[in-house]
Structure 1
Amino acid sequence: ALAALSARARAADEAVAAAREARATARSQAEHQEAARRDVERLCGERFQCPPPVLPGRFGFAPDPGDPEALAVVHDDLAAERERLGPVNLRADIELAELEEQAKTVAAEKAELDTAIARLRGSIGSLNREGRARLTAAFTAVDAHFRALFTDLFGGGEARLELIESDDPLEAGLEIMAQPPGKKLQSLTLLSGGEQALTAAALIFALFLANPAPICVLDEVDAPLDDANVERFCDLLDRMAAETATRFLIVTHNAVTMSRMHRLFGVTMGEPGVSQLVSVDLHAAERLLAAE
């Protein structure tokens, strides 16, 4: 009986020792859990500014953690997603700020370019409007002079200038329509060589009447003309010289034209290889002849 009691006493002591050890282990685990809880509360407060019970709702989870196995599945899925995303770029915030700054700079430059383009288009539109107005006014003036000069040169008939191929004067072409006496109205290209020369001369003189220039050089314009038309051409030259301040320089081999000029300049070769410029003032020569 004594042995049995001793055995029971030893068993009781062992149970007490085991209970004490278990209590110490439980107390240690409780302390660790409490420390972990405090760490979680601190992290939630620092990073998310909320207590742990509110945190699941912040990310779309139910406040009740639910089935641990289901949570484990969700945890595994999230961990796998994190692995697919790859390593975390610790410079992401800095790079984002740099890219946003670059985007702002590009947006500002684009706005400046848009403003400059709008201003340039406005200037182009203004210049085009002014150009159309000036061209239309010049065309009207030249056309009026051309009509009158053509009739004077040909002793009748009619002619006009036409803008073709576009309603915009800045893009339109120019067509010369002429009707010498006894002929139908037709394009300049369908006239004879002499008629074309007189019509072109009328247009040149019309340009000088609308916008005079100091000098006008005409090279062999009388070559295709007969004597009667040369006289008409010279009559018009005299009129232009009287009505404008333009000096007319005529290159010609026509004797009739030369006889109607005020001064002649020629090149002669008195000796082989030696050229000499000769000039004659016809008005002075006429006065000398009259004095004799």
Structure 2
Amino acid sequence: MTELEAAFESKFAVNGNVKLHYTAAGSGPPIVFLHGFPDHGMGWRRQMQALCSRYRVIAPDLRGFGQSDAPQGYGNYVLANLVNDVLAVLAAEKLTQAAIVGHDWGGIVAWWLAIRAPQVVRHLVLLSTPHPRNHLNAIADPANAEMIAYIRSFQAPGAAQMLNIDELATWVADPQDRQALTDSLRRSSPEAMLGYYRANIPLGKVPSLGQLPLVKAPTLVLFGTDDPYVPVSAFDGTFREVDNVTALIALPGAGHFIHHQAAKFVTEQVEAWVERPPSSFRHLA
């Protein structure tokens, strides 16, 4: 364990009957990092270590993952509950607002947090995650059937019993980080992790989301051009969903897990985005 890792605090928040573990470090303006599948809060280790000298960095294990509770039943994993989990973490930290950074499912939660509780999102940063409308449209598009086949396989009965934890961690190159993820996934609930797909992505026809409030926070979207799980076209038109400055950055040749594959670049982009006062985005000159 490095000196920086020793400074990480292991803490808990509570949303109703669900106890949520999170890791925190540093002091200063708060940044909340939301992980996806298959990942955990400490999947943001590199960003947290780089930023904790200037920011209060906070990374929950989403419900069902790591040391957080995993309530039984897919209904526990609907997006309203996941958004409330983030609000519970903010409350535990006595925060009324924070910069929110999300990847994969954490990115989807981050989008919905910015849509449903705009007052708490100071800046919004998404990694490899299109706006929910564009994401569902991409899933519904027959042209993407091969790319999103993994989602349908995760929704199949008995899929949780087929998960291979060691295989799920192979995307992490660093041996220490891979072992930490493997250990965390072994503590996680396979049914819960796949419950995200069952609870929030329709099994049949994908409905239109209709009119949604525009995101108010300045929004930065980073994605890899070679992401095997998300079509690049799903990021088209993102600016139409945001009533603020919106920036999209494509990382040539990068895949889905860009917070690892391009860790330093991602950290630099996050810091450059969140260090600017939100008001400054409104008055570009």
More helix by share: 1
Q: TM-score, normalised by structure 1?
A: 0.24
TM-score, normalised by the number of residues in structure 2: 0.24
Larger Rg: 1
